[in-house]
Structures are given as structure tokens and as C-alpha cells.
Amino acid sequence: MVVGLIIACEVAFWVLLAAGLTFRYALKMPRTGLAFLLCEPLLEVVLFLVTAMDLRDGAEPSWHHGVAAVYIGFTVGLGHSTIKWADAKVSHRYFGGPPPVKPPKYGRARALHEWKVAARWITAASVAAGLLQAAIWYVGDTGDTGSLRGWQSRMFFVIGINVIIAAAYTVFPKRAPEGVEERAKEKAQW
């Protein structure tokens, strides 16, 4: 049941996103579009409640309970940026909006961008790890929580990888090729 609900929440996320953007741009009803987008967090609340009820009713903790916690965590950490990304793409491609802002390519600006991306992933993994720990405490000694602990260790791995990537861009910043900075300065003067 939990796996089916996770799939339904993922499908509903994209359906609500498409509906929100359609109402916002194609139908010129931005408030209705915003209402659809604001329904997105309700999906995670429903998934959280159903997962908690499943565990309360005596279900043995398994990988699908772990995936539910990870899904909720990743939606919390990455959902907003995904919606902003889709909004910018749809606005530009179909409705004449400004082009999406591209991330910087070089130097300190790129390192800062990578730390912001890492912060979103760290938030996602931390929320997931916290929910997994709450599930472990909720189940207590009455069940096998090994699968939940396995998902927790994966979340710490995600955090570590993101810190390493952002730190690499900080310690070894990517340098602009010769002449790129001069052309950018000249372009800014025009």
C-alpha cells in the first residue's frame, strides 16, 4: 500500500505542477495556479500520515517505509527549487518570459552556487534521516528497524557527497578560459 501511495504522490506532484502552470500562464489565472501549487505539500502530509498509520497498525518496517521518508525529505528539500525551475522553463519556452538564469560557470560564484545546491540536498537528506529516526523510535524494540537504518546511512552518504562536491569547487575553483572575462566586461559596458 505504501509503495502505491508513493507512486501516486509522485504522479500527483507532476499533475499539480502542470495544472498550476497551465492555470498560471495558459488560462491567465495566476491565483488558481498558485492554489494548485500550494496543494503540493498536502501530498507529503498524506504520505506521512499513511506511513505512520501503517507502522502503528503493526506493519513490519521495510524498505518502502524508508522510501516514503526519503521521498518526503527530498520533496521538502528539492520540491521548491523544482517548481521554480519548471516555472522558469515554461514561462520562457511557451509564454515569452525571460530566459531562465543559468548558474555561473567559474570562480567564487560557481562555488557559491554549488554550496546552495548542496544545502538543498543536505536539507532533503537531513529531513529524510530525521523522519527515519522518528520511525525507528516509533517502532521501538518491537520490530526490525534494519531497513530504516540502512536508508539512514544512505542519507548520510548523500550529505557527504554533496559536501565533497561543493568543497571541491571551493578549493579548486574552475577558472574561465582566456579572454572570457574581458569579453564579459566589454559586453557589460555596452
Structure-model confidence comparison of residues 182 and 161, the more confident one: 161
40 assigned to some structural domain: yes
Domain membership of residue 25 (yes or no) is: yes
Segment 48-70, tens digit of pLDDT? 999 989 988 888 888 999 999 99
pLDDT exceeds 60 at position 188 = no
- pLDDT of 165 reads 97
- Determine, yes or no, domain membership for 67: yes
Residue 178 has pLDDT above 70, yes or no: yes
The pLDDT of residue 183 is above 70 = no
Residues 6 or more apart whose Cβ sits within 8 Å of residue 93: none
pLDDT tens for each residue of 1-54? 888 999 999 999 999 999 999 999 999 999 999 999 999 999 999 999 999 899
The answer to whether position 183 is within a domain reads no
- Asked whether residue 72 carries a pLDDT value surpassing 90, the answer given is yes
Number of domains in the chain: 1
Residue at 130 is within a domain: yes
Is 172 domain-assigned?
yes
- Could you tell me the CA-to-CA distances from 103 to 16, 82, 100, 188 in Å, in that order? 27, 15, 9, 18
Q: Which residues constitute the domain of residue 23?
A: 2-176
Instruction: Identify the pLDDT of residue 113.
Output: 96
On whether residue 189 sits in a domain, the answer given is: no
Q: Please state the rounded mean pLDDT for residues 105-128.
A: 96
| Cα dihedral: 170, 176, 178, 184 (round 10) | -130
Reported as a pLDDT band with limits 50, 70 and 90, residue 181 is low
Which residue, 10, 13, 9, is CA-closest to 86? 13
